[in-house]
Amino acid sequence: MTLLQIDWNPAPEIIKFGSFALRYYSLMFVIAFMLGLHLMKKVYINEKIPLEKLDSLFIYVVIATLLGARIGHFLFYDPEFLFRKPLEVILPFKFSPKFEFTGFAGLASHGAVIGIITALYFYSKKVLNKPVLFILDRMTMPVAIGGAFVRIGNLMNSEIIGKPTNGDYGFIFRQLGEDFPRHPAQLYEAVCYAVIFVIVYFAYWKTDKKNQPGYIFGLFFTLLWSVRFIIEFFKEEQVEGGENWFLDLNTGQVLSIPLIMVGLYFMFRKK
């Protein structure tokens, strides 16, 4: 083993009770939601918004994240399964060959963001009684740091792996039965999302950009999907042989391009 080569072989399960297992991936989701709740509590106190409205926000976002990410994964990467077994997509169980608790494995970040934005639109109208851009600007902080924790969960699961480094550096994913190093794309993404969190956190708390509706949201979208576009070059394809679009871009990159443009629009649009 060289200094820059790591044997990566963690057990994805922390503890197991019969057919139920607590996985690192699930734990990272819990941490992401709890940290997001704490961040938004600080925001609501700062904005003098009644904290009872925070409970509804938590419920809206949790449901939208799980359903949006789950449906998005199959819609973008495996639509045949979505229409063949829709209940197994929506529920954390599988029914064949036997009934089994599976959790929500197979989640797409593009689907999660679409789900969250949709939920926040209805939350802003029904509960918050403020323009949707108000809540979108402020939700960038928990979503950014939450994305970092989710990618750490992917790393613990040895999934969404990177391409071989073709050198003596990288992570050797022993859980996959491999003996050669790959790019730890999950770690690259987690670090980048943490940096994005710092940027949007600074933009909200240390500048007056929160008074320019949509700017922080646009900044977040531009940075987030630019990072995703670049890191996709280091990832293995999510669907073997089925992701080559124009210019050899994969599905994640193609989906990111219009979202980057949306972000730029909100940053530079006229007031």
pLDDT at 200: 97
Q: Is residue 4 part of a domain?
A: no
In a domain, 91, yes or no: yes
- The stretches in the chain having pLDDT less than 50 are 1
pLDDT at 249: 85
Residue 184 lies in a domain: yes
* pLDDT the model gives residue 38: 95
- pTM of the full structure: 0.84
Residue 36 lies in a domain: yes
So what's the pLDDT on residue 208? 94
Can you list the pairs that 227-231 forms with residues at least 24 positions away whose Cβ atoms lie under 8 Å? 227/189, 227/192, 227/193, 227/196, 228/109, 228/189, 228/252, 228/253, 228/256, 229/253, 229/256, 229/257, 229/260, 231/185, 231/188, 231/189, 231/192
6 located within any domain: no
pLDDT of residue 172: 93
Q: Does residue 8 lie in a domain region?
A: no
Split into its structural domains, the chain has a count of 1
Would you state the structure tokens that stand for residue 154, as one six-digit string?
A: 């992917």
Q: What pLDDT does residue 243 have?
A: 60
- 102: in domain: yes
Which domain does 195 fall in, by range? Answer: 17-268
